[in-house]
């Protein structure tokens, strides 16, 4: 299940938030985010030796969207963009650097909690913007369906009852 979510969501989300970083990873043949499987599956607990930092992440993951570990993984990459972009070596070197990224990005900082808060804030902003886009697409879809229905009903070439019964079965959630 985790592999399916990662393969379908990780790189499209990364491409959406940082196309340059996405292209850099793909240039080296990184097509599946296998380096992040353990991050998402274990909520970073195996990669972060500090109990306070691991607890902060667990708290954030418990009270937020189920995909928050995925958003956090992408945010970890984007907040470490310079370090990743400077790794111009082989795929194996890049993979090794990415696997160790949580420790490198967080524990080489003087203020670990500040770095975690920056990563979580970034992850929340990605989640918020994506949810706003989702709602906008749903509203646009509903508008287009209503406009199409009005056009069909205004032509008078077919029974309005037939069209109303067909369109009334569509219920798009707005939440």
Residue 40 and residue 73 in contact, taking contact as beta carbons nearer than 8 Å: yes
- According to DSSP, residue 89 is labeled S
Q: What share of the chain is helix, strand, coil (3-state, %, to 5)?
A: 75, 0, 25
pLDDT at 163 (0 to 100): 47
Please count the other Cβ atoms lying within 10 Å of the Cβ belonging to residue 149.
17
Q: Domain for residue 116, yes or no?
A: yes
- Is the same domain home to 162 and 117? no
The residue to which tokens 């079965």 are assigned:
169
pLDDT at 168 (0 to 100): 47
pLDDT at 79 (0 to 100): 93
- Is the same domain home to 125 and 139? no
Report the alpha-carbon distance of residue 27 to residue 151 in Å, rounded: 48
For the chain, residues with pLDDT lower than 70 are 133-138, 147-175
Q: Domain for residue 172, yes or no?
A: no
- Is the same domain home to 45 and 126? yes
pLDDT at 172 (0 to 100): 45
- Tokens of residue 65, six digits: 């969207």
Residue 157: give the domain boundaries: 135-167
The whole-model pTM stands at 0.74
* Type and span of the H or E element at 52: helix 51-63
- Is the same domain home to 92 and 160? no
Q: Domain for residue 90, yes or no?
A: yes
Please tell me the total count of domains within the chain. Answer: 2
- Is the same domain home to 105 and 61? yes
């Amino acid at each position: 299940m985790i592999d399916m979510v990662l393969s379908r969501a990780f790189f499209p989300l990364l491409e959406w938030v940082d196309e340059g970083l996405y292209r850099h990873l793909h240039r080296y043949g990184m097509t599946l985010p296998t380096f992040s499987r353990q991050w998402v599956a274990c909520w970073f607990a195996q990669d972060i030796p500090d109990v306070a930092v691991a607890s902060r992440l667990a708290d954030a993951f418990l009270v937020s969207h189920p995909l928050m570990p995925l958003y956090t993984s992408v945010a970890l990459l984007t907040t470490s963009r310079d370090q990743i972009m400077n790794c111009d070596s082989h795929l194996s070197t890049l993979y090794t650097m990415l696997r160790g990224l949580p420790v490198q990005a967080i524990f080489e900082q003087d203020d670990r909690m500040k770095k975690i808060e920056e990563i979580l804030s970034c992850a929340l902003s990605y989640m918020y913007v994506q949810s706003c886009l989702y709602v906008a697409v749903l509203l646009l879809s509903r508008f287009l369906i209503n406009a199409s229905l009005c056009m069909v009903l205004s032509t008078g070439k077919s029974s309005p009852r037939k069209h109303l019964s067909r369109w009334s079965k569509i219920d798009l959630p707005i939440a």
